[in-house]
A = this chain, B = another copy of it.
Amino acid sequence: MTAERLVVVGGDAAGMSAASQARRLKGPDELEIVAFERGHFSSYSACGIPYWVGGQVRGRDELIARTPAEHRERDIELRTRTEVTEVDMAGGRVRSRDLESGAESWTGYDKLVLATGARPVRPELPGIDAPGVHGVQTLDDGQALLDTLAATGGRRAVVVGAGYIGVEMAEALLHRGFEVTVLNRGEQPMATLDPDMGRLVHEAMDGLGITTVNGAAVTGVRTGSDGRVRAVATEDAEYPADVVVLGMGVRPETGLARAAGLPLGVYGGLLTDLALRVRGQENIWAGGDCVEVLDLVSGRERHVPLGTHANKHGQIIGANAGGGYATFPGVVGTAVSKVCDLEIARTGLREKDATEVGLRYVTATIESTSRAGYYPDAGSMTVKMLAERRTGRLLGVQIVGGEGAAKRVDIAAVALTAGMTVEQMTMLDLGYAPPFSPVWDPVLVAARKAVTAVRSTT
């Protein structure tokens, strides 16, 4: 028997999880696995870069879950610094280029996994490629930024974008002793929250000494006579900068897939079935930041580039490509983050998401504490809950607050997955003891208020 060959394009979370899981199910006699990665590294935590830059994580290598050498020891032929430049579906092969030598070659596949990830948004603005302007997508990006921080004599940092990466990088730069200004295109930071909750993040960032400018449309980067960044310009003002970090979001990296004629969604991500096979394809799977996923609350596809999904996708794809069976049911849109001691969490739909898909809803916002009010260090938190009008079905939860706020969103994530109503949620048997929760957990308090709101509109 000749071994089948599984080719994996992309050597980070989704791709290498798929390769590893497939290897667990089938030995090298049955399945040859070849993986291509254009960078130097494999299986690393991009989500950890802000904490490496901020100094909480000591070094780059701590962010690497498994090195190329470790993958190779497990009979996965991982070719780093090698970019796949074409997928020839008719021929069942991929063309790749060695980025060091420039040599090109073709590799045949029986099964193909596309895990090409996402690329940061980097608008074509004057000066955006100047030295001192940094993205933070890869470990190489992180190292380059750290080099700039060490070299510059200045202390002024500008972060463009106020999403997860933006606020996490603002914290990191603050830890490094910089004066931080965050330029935010939107109404409030954290556009993944409703503006009323984003405002709480804004206020907390003010309190931390981070300057946030809302409604700031960046028009260019000003450079000095040495060609290095000096300032960031918006339509209204200029913000002096010794270093600039771009955190403007990411888009699915699907150039290869597009060229091959594979189906893409409205966000530019690959569309798959529930087994994560690319739609219409028998032997091509896709996962991680390059795909769109089903949002179980809205019933629509969304692009949710998160390491936790990429890892799950890899497991599912590896099981299927390895001859097993597994499916990915979809997401509910859970995400957590923090800026210093402020925790930020969301799951499900924001108000505008609900409106967009035709759902009518009520909202309830409450303030409570992470522990019994009389227990020391009880941190306050604000919980906002959306429920469908009439049915009372939970649609979403957003939480902003102190210690213990963020992971409480998991309660809502499971409730959303189960399709619970807010009335059902009021009686959830959640863990209570004074050091861990008020006798009514903040999520239950929000659910009770949401019940009242649902009743008042029926």
Tell me the A residues contacting B by CB distance below 8 Å. 13, 45, 47-48, 51, 56-57, 62-63, 164, 306-309, 311-312, 328-329, 331-338, 343, 345, 347, 372, 374-376, 404, 406-411, 413-415, 417-418, 420, 424, 426-437, 439-441
Contact = CB atoms under 8 A, between A and B. Distances in A.
Contact of A48 (B309, B336, B375, B415): B375
B48 A374 contact: yes
B333 A429 contact: yes
A161 B274 CA distance: 51
A120 B275 CA distance: 55
A345 B431 contact: yes
Nearest to A308: B432
Given A374-B62, A415-B414, A431 B335 contact: yes
Nearest to A443: B410
14 contacts: A45-B439, A51-B435, A56-B375, A306-B432, A309-B429, A335-B433, A336-B431, A343-B436, A347-B431, A410-B410, A410-B411, A410-B428, A414-B428, A417-B428
Given A45-B439, A439-B308, A431 B413 contact: yes
A413 B434 contact: no
B308 A63 contact: no
Contacts of A413: 428-431
Residue from A335, A372, A409, A411 with most neighbouring chain B CB atoms (10 Å): A372
A417 B431 contact: no
Nearest to A64: B374
A411 B332 CA distance: 14
Contacts of A406: 431, 433, 436
A434 B406 CA distance: 12
Contacts of A431: 334-336, 345, 347, 406-407, 409-410, 413
Contact of A433 (B309, B337, B430): B337
Contacts of A329: 424, 427
Given A51-B375, A410-B411, 10 more contacts: A57-B376, A307-B432, A311-B440, A335-B433, A347-B429, A406-B431, A408-B410, A410-B431, A411-B411, A418-B418
Contacts of A57: 374-376, 434
A57 B407 CA distance: 25
A409 B437 CA distance: 13
A247 to B, nearest CB: 14
A290 to B, nearest CB: 18
Contacts of A334: 429-432
Contacts of A375: 48, 51, 56-57
A56 B377 CA distance: 10
A176 to B, nearest CB: 16
Contacts of A430: 308, 334, 410, 413-414
Contacts of A434: 45, 47-48, 51, 57
A337 B439 CA distance: 13
Contacts of A427: 312, 328-329
A429 B331 contact: yes
Contacts of A332: 429
B433 A336 contact: yes
A77 B336 CA distance: 47
Q: Which of A328, A331, A343, A439 has the most CB of B within 10 A?
A: A439
